[in-house]
Amino acid sequence: MSATPDRQGRITPSDIRSRKGTEPVVCLTAYTTPMAQLVDQSCDLVLVGDSVGMVLHGLPSTVGVTIEMMILHGQAVARGLSHACMVVDMPFGSYEEGPAQAFRNAARIMAETGSQAVKLEGGAHMAETVRFLVQRGIPVMAHVGLTPQSVNTLGGYKVQGRGADGDRVLADAAALADAGAFAVVLEKLPAELGERITRDIPVPTIGIGAGVDCDGQVLVVDDMLGQFAGFRPKFVKRYAELGETAQQAIANYASDVRTRRFPGPEHIFTESKKA
């Protein structure tokens, strides 16, 4: 079943591209309708990230995420958006084989979720695929630096682009911008490199652990809301501690049930219609 979000007044990928060097682009992830409704009015971009596999499904990495999972969560997010541009991650194994495979799967994701664009990971070697998709009407957001789907070859979630390796990451970003990507995510790079790439490529950079000079910023919404106790990546600022609040609320509920303080008189029904 296709999602049918109201597109009137929605920010588009072209709008995001035109923001280069102007007002910073605000982006958060969302995986559900209620969260999409919460982030919609404050964000320019809402990313249905494959981080959903780790955040909501308990997977050890994003590698196990499937197209079906991305479509399910994409449909849910689409129902909650009326303002922000929606981008859906292409999961591992859905585009690396070549441009034709990438087109089939990207077209399916867009058709079944109502997303306005897809995001894929990888450097200059993905430029041909990005160009193929864009030429066929599929807007693409690229992703370089730390690419979580490649964590097994990168040797972990390490900072990328230090020293001479910065030239490689810059070349990756430039190649993807030249291929038609409307924006490029820069993940876990030295701030100096994030500033350099932002200055050198013609499309907006969206940073996640890449410094303040990027054209925009993205975080996993559950991280910045403090949903998970003890998980504090250096590049995440906690704007709330909802995990601690929820844990205490659940403990209070459990105590009230065990001591029969809940339900109280105000929560029950009686034979009298006045109650």
Whether residue 266 contacts residue 256, with contact meaning beta carbons closer than 8 Å, is answered with: no
**Angle of the 165-178 helix axis to the 191-200 helix axis, nearest 10:** 30
Is 187 designated active site? Answer: yes
The tokens for 159 are: 């900072």
Whether residue 27 contacts residue 47, with contact meaning beta carbons closer than 8 Å, is answered with: yes
Strand 85-89, strand 25-29: pairing: unpaired
Binding residues for Mg(2+): 50, 89, 121
Binding residues for 3-methyl-2-oxobutanoate: 50-51, 89, 119
Binding residues: 50-51, 89, 119, 121
Catalytic residue from among 187, 192, 241, 266:
187
Residue 118 phi, psi (nearest 5): -120, 160
Distances (CA, A) of 161 to 111, 115, 165, 172, 180: 36, 31, 5, 11, 23
* Separation between Cα atoms, residue 49 and residue 269, nearest integer Å: 44
Task: Give the burial class of 72: count Cβ atoms within 10 A of its Cβ; 0-12 exposed, 13-18 middle, 19 or more buried.
Answer: middle
Active site residues: 187
